[in-house]
Amino acid sequence: MFGDPEQIAAAMRQFADMLSAPPGSGPVNWDMAKNIARHAVAAEGDPSVMEGERRQIVDALNLADLWLNEATALPSGVSNPQAWSRSEWIENTIPVWRQLCDPIAARMVETMSGTLGAAGLPAEAQAMAGPLMGMMKQMGGMMVGQQIGQAVGSLAREVIGSSDIGLPLSGNAALLPGGIAAFSEGLETPGEEIRLYLALREAAHHRLFQHVPWLRAHLLGAVEEYARGITVDVSALEEQLRGLDINNPEQLQQALSGGNLLKPEETERQKAALSRLETMLALVEGWVGTVVDGAADGKLPSSAALAETVRRRRATGGPAEQTFATLVGLELRPRRLREAAALWQALEADRGVDGRDAVWSHPDLMPTADDLDDPQGFVRGEPEFDLSGLEASLRESATEQDEDGKDDKGDGGGEKGGESA
């Protein structure tokens, strides 16, 4: 390994990144993670976006946003459409990745540094190993940062825009020419039609994220809550460390590089967070698909075929999504996408576009996982919310209060009369 000058340079660069982390910067050196991600995409080629490509994508996003005005009551969410290279996608989405990954990274670094620092030391020596423990913590942060950087770099090679995984990774609508080209491989649909369809999906996501104020915090909060329950399997870590040759960096990196160290703690709270996240992701994707289908109807002949392609791609996921699942401990897949789309379509048929989109006005109005099993039941609503029944109940209650008041007055009058006599 140390005979390859390029690998030596990469190792020295990562070690310098580790030492450059400012105090109090958190469990992960995110500058190092970002550099690793960018090196990963650059290694496979990441050309800059040409002016012609940028103009095509900006025009497609603007046209798509105009078409969406006819399909949804939510206002435009595209104010600064952009075209990104894969490196630019990494640069613009790192702040959200930091918010998502820091809870689990902090736990991993703390446990890994403690286990590494204590390995092979007698009890009396551990109390004197303060500086060593600090160094071990830095090394743990470097290892986790390297894993995060590789995961984000893998995702960057597959994504099409800023909203592929269903989370608001950026405030700007953007598409990647390289991602569009990879998506188009093997399809016989004209490139312009594919670009417009993907622009519709990107613009629809941004309408939702920007004009439903509680949605972003709800989604990211569910991810964070689930991630806080992830623990490092200390016994597995100790087992992997036992017998390792510390002079073999490749063996050490392989032992500490993956999902064997992550063990989801399946608490009831964690299961509830995962269920809530999956349901909301399905509702987001189902709404986007319904709105995009309405906007593309009569304009894009291949919209139905493209919708099915996107649906299969989203439902099955790819290697990058599996990498992220290993990293954070969960799969960001809308498992009940078809049921969610059926629910939004039923709402639109019964209440119209405005009534359908009004459901997003408050989280308490949103369908639950049980509602996905019975879309028509959600559309009809529960009988106890029948206003006529509520009015009758109020009238009956008022009558009883009047009768009670008359009885109280009669009893009071008798007592006063007795006292007077």
53-57, 172-176, 231-235, 345-349: segment of lowest average pLDDT: 231-235
Mean pLDDT of 347-372: 94
144-148, 206-210, 271-275, 404-408: segment of lowest average pLDDT: 404-408
Mean pLDDT of 194-200: 97
Mean pLDDT of 114-118: 51
Residue appearing with tokens 């290697």: 319
Residue appearing with tokens 């982390």: 21
Q: Sorting pLDDT into bands at 50, 70 and 90, what band is 294?
A: very high
Predicted pLDDT at 53? 96
Q: Is 95 helix (H, G, I), strand (E, B) or coil?
A: helix
**Which residue from 166, 96, 93 is spatially nearest to 314, judged by alpha carbons?**
166
Q: How much is the pTM?
A: 0.76
Task: Tell me the pLDDT tens digit for each residue of 142-187.
Answer: 777 787 888 888 889 889 999 988 888 899 999 999 999 999 998 9
Q: Sorting pLDDT into bands at 50, 70 and 90, what band is 51?
A: very high
CB burial readout 244-261, b (16+ within 10 A) else e:
eeeeeeeebeebbeeeeb
Instruction: Tell me the β-bridge partners of 232.
Output: 262
Task: Tell me the pLDDT tens digit for each residue of 219-261.
Answer: 888 877 776 666 656 666 566 656 655 556 666 556 555 445 5
Check: CB of residue 347 under 8 Å from CB of residue 287.
Answer: no
For the chain, percent of residues with pLDDT exceeding 90: 38
Q: Is the pLDDT of residue 357 over 60?
A: yes
Most confident of 28-32, 302-306, 378-382: 302-306
Residues 91, 86: Cα–Cα separation, whole Å: 9
Predicted pLDDT at 155? 87
Q: Angle, to 10 degrees, between the axis of helix 215-228 and the axis of helix 319-328?
A: 60
